[in-house]
Structure 1
Amino acid sequence: KSGCNKERIILHRMGINLGIFKFSERRIQSNESIKILTVGRLVEKKGHKYAIKAIAKIVKRYKNIEYIIAGDGSLRKELENLVSELEIKNYVEFLGVVEQNEVLKLYRQAHIFVLPSITASNGDQEGIPIVLMEAQATGLPVISTYHSGIPEVIVDGESGFLVPEKDIDALTQKIEYLIEHSEIWPEMGRAGRKFIEERYDINKLNKRLVEIYRALHTNNVNELERPKRY
């Protein structure tokens, strides 16, 4: 503890421009494959290998899935080798670096978003991944981990699911649950959009920041409404 007066500490979140991330309910046609998406750099803390291992389990039961990985990084070759070793190359696609307009298309085309973040071997951690805000804003059900600030951006069981770090079985179970229960995708998507609108709308947060600066200028910090923590 640093000895700061907790009444003088103000939590201010980052957010996203909801005007860019258009909402749509997720539904699937009878002949359509289920698209599972991960967006993020190919580095250890993003946990890609755990998603890949989960997909290897899932395709033994469900053949109509595609796992799409958008992003590049130092682990690409290692992850591609893992996909080959697990004999799931027909189900996994590495897109490499993707521009934002293409990411928006990927969000629209996907049915489920997965980001199994972990604490890396060198101690590196996530903060609150922006992609989880973006995915929920577009209406995607999301699956991530009890890691760092991630539980603050997902309402477990409502807008998505949280699983323990590195738990391939738990990750597999939650992905399979969403595959088997596509009827809940629209409800989860609406819950996620509502949550992001309430807590992570950059326009609301900018107005809030102005209020904070004004309160600091007039020494009325104690009168500020404190945001809820999740």
Structure 2
Amino acid sequence: MACKNFKGKKLLSYQGALTAYCERAPQVFLFRMQAFLERFAVKHYGQITCESPWAVDRVREIAPDSDVSLMEYGVEESFFHLDRTPSDTPSCFFGGTIYELKGISYLVEAFRHPDLAHVQLYIAGKGSLTAALKAESTPNIHWLGAVSRETLQQHLSSAWCLVHPTLGDNSPNIVKEARVMGLPVITTEEGGQTQYVKDGESGYIIPIRDSAAIREAVLKLTHDRETALNMGCQGRQECRALLNVNRTVEGCLTRYRTMLNSDF
């Protein structure tokens, strides 16, 4: 309502595609209400920035006449200085909210399969599905709960890969953080995170809601330690350049200058 009523120049940083999320997975009532209002609010902004081409497409679905541009949000500097020290035995990491949109149930299903009994999965985060999924987990699945930034970085450093089987995501920080560290990523084709992963080179891009595809990709990436290390290095420098926070600062300043000098 504030956006609609304010008559001055307005810039929206679009960091959550609420309408798209509700279309892809069940959401709580408040979230659905926010998504309903999103359809009316977004079109009232003069300029909109998005973190990924996927998000740009989602904005244009609900506000086709908006002036939308792509602007990456950089990764915290500390992630650029972390060394990868993969564990002696294969391990994977997931970090995020434990609810349906993140595809977490398909991840747990994949790791319950006997083929992955030798691979450890560490899950950081909390959410509505935690108790149910924890109850049906096998011994190779470890639930960490909410973790500190330092603990998160330690797990990313020791993991052989990040697994992010989302049903839809704007531009998840965990994927960006993993890639600037040089960690390979297994993720789905639905979301902005695909721009940081090259299928078969720096990770694997798989269909949504497919535990078998998750399992197959994990088996490929954890075949040996060198494979995990080498795949993580692919495209790392490009990701570091793209996700440098100074680039984000300059992008913000450029848009502010444009707004100040424009008539809209």
Same-fold status (TM-score > 0.5): yes
The C-alpha deviation readout for 1:166-186, integer Å capped at 9, x for no partner, is: 111111111101111432323
Pair 1:178-2:178 in alignment = no
Contact preservation (8 Å) 1:126, 1:148: yes
Fraction of identical pairs, as percent: 24
What is the Cα deviation at residue 150 of structure 1?
2.4
In the alignment, the residues of structure 2 paired with residue 17 and residue 143 of structure 1 have an alpha-carbon distance, to the nearest angstrom, of: 22
Deviation at 1:27, TM superposition (A): 5.1
- Structure 1 residues 124-135: aligned runs within 5 Å: 125-135=168-178
Q: Which is further off, 185-194 or 32-41?
A: 185-194
CA gap of 1:192–1:102, structure 2 versus 1, over 3 A, is farther
Q: Distance in 1 between matches of 2:153 and 2:109?
A: 26
Residues 1:145 and 2:188 are matched in the alignment: yes
- Higher RCO (CA-CA < 8 Å; seq separation 6+): 1
Q: CA separation of 1:27/1:40 partners in 2, compared to 1, >3 Å: closer, same or farther?
A: closer
- Which structure features the higher share of helix residues? 2
Partner of 1:113: 162
- The aligned counterpart of 1:187 is 230
C-alpha distance in 1, partners of 2:208/2:115?
Answer: 24
**TM score, norm. by length of structure 1:** 0.78
RMSD: 2.2
- Deviation readout 1:58-93 (Å, 9 max, x if unpaired): xx245432111111111111111221xxxx2x2111
Task: Name the counterpart of 1:13.
Answer: 72
Q: Runs of 5+ in structure 2 lacking a partner?
A: 1-59
Change (3 A) 1:3 1:50: closer
Instruction: Report the Cα offset of residue 192 of structure 1.
Output: 4.3
**Matches of 2:184 and 2:220, distance apart in 1:** 11
Distance in 1 (CA, whole Å) between partners of 2:235 and 2:93 is 16
Q: Which residue of 1 aligns with 2:106?
A: 50
Note the C-alpha offset of 1:198.
Answer: 2.4
CA offset digits 1:118-159 (Å, max 9, x no partner) = 1xxxxxx42111100011122211101011322223222222
- TM-score w.r.t. the length of structure 2 is 0.69
- 1:20 deviates by 3.4
Which amino acid letter does the alignment assign opposite residue 52 of structure 1? V
Q: Could you tell me which residue of structure 2 aligns to residue 22 of structure 1?
A: 81
Are the structure 2 counterparts of residues 25 and 126 from structure 1 closer, same or farther at C-alpha, using a change threshold of 3 Å? same
For residues 108 and 142 of structure 1, do their structure 2 counterparts lie closer, same or farther at Cα, with a shift above 3 Å needed?
Answer: same
What residue is the counterpart of 1:121 in the other structure? Answer: none
Aligned to 1:68: 122
Deviations 1:16-56 (A, max 9, x none): 1233343435656xxx2211110111111111111111112
> In structure 2, what residue type is equivalent to 1:140?
L
1:207 positional shift? 1.6
- In 2, the alpha carbon distance for the partners of 1:3 and 1:127 equals 18
Rounded to whole Å, the distance in 1 between the matches of 2:213 and 2:230 is 22
Partner of 2:5: none
* Alignment-mate amino acid for residue 4 of structure 1: D
Residue ranges of structure 1 left out of the alignment (5+ in a row)? 119-124, 220-230
Distance verdict in 2 for CA 1:203–1:70, change over 3 Å: same
1:104 aligned partner: 153
Q: Contact (CA 8 Å) 2:111, 2:117: kept in 1 or not?
A: no
- Find runs of 4+ consecutive structure 1 residues off by over 6 angstroms: none
Cα shift at 1:103: 0.5
Q: 2: CA distance between counterparts of 1:63 and 1:204?
A: 42
